[in-house]
Amino acid sequence: MPRSRINGNFIDKTFSILADILLRVIPTTFREKEAFTHYRDGLYTLTIWLIHTSNGEHTKDLEYYFQALERNPFLPQAFNNMAVIRHYVYGIDQNGTPKGLTTESYKENSEIVEAWFDQAAEYWKHAIALTPGIYIKVRNWLKIMRRFE
């Protein structure tokens, strides 16, 4: 296992242990504890994405993002990453050129490519709505592509 992954696991485990201790020690309401549990569960599911992305398993990535958003619908990073997947797999660059497809293949699949690109834009709009000041480059890019009002 690479050293970075070992360190990441150590940090994740340490965070989980400290968070559990803090939840027991600091006076919090049941609702606050429940909210933190949902937040943490959403992050766990979000983290699984990194594993699948590194293996090129984009369909599994999207499944885990949907699960993360079911637990916590306010994860802008999940929306952003879902958009990146849709844009990355069959995307169009800012010049209107299809990424990863030949011109003939793009012409044959243009409706699918456009639908995926539309979906990516919608996911990015959700991320921007949740955190307006964070995804500035994405917002500008969507404006250039005439997909953001």
Tens digits of residue pLDDT in 55-85: 777 788 888 888 888 888 998 988 998 898 8
pLDDT at 96: 58
pLDDT at 15: 73
Rounded to whole angstroms, the Cα distance separating 25 from 17 reads 12
Confidence of residue 106 (pLDDT cuts 50, 70, 90): low
Q: What is the 3-state secondary structure (H, E, C) of 41-63?
A: HHHHHHHHHHHHHHCCCHHHHHH
Mean of per-residue pLDDT scores for the chain:
77
Q: Which has the closest alpha carbon to 73: 118, 31, 29, 41?
A: 41
The tens digit of pLDDT for each residue in 117-145 reads 888 899 999 999 999 888 899 999 889 88
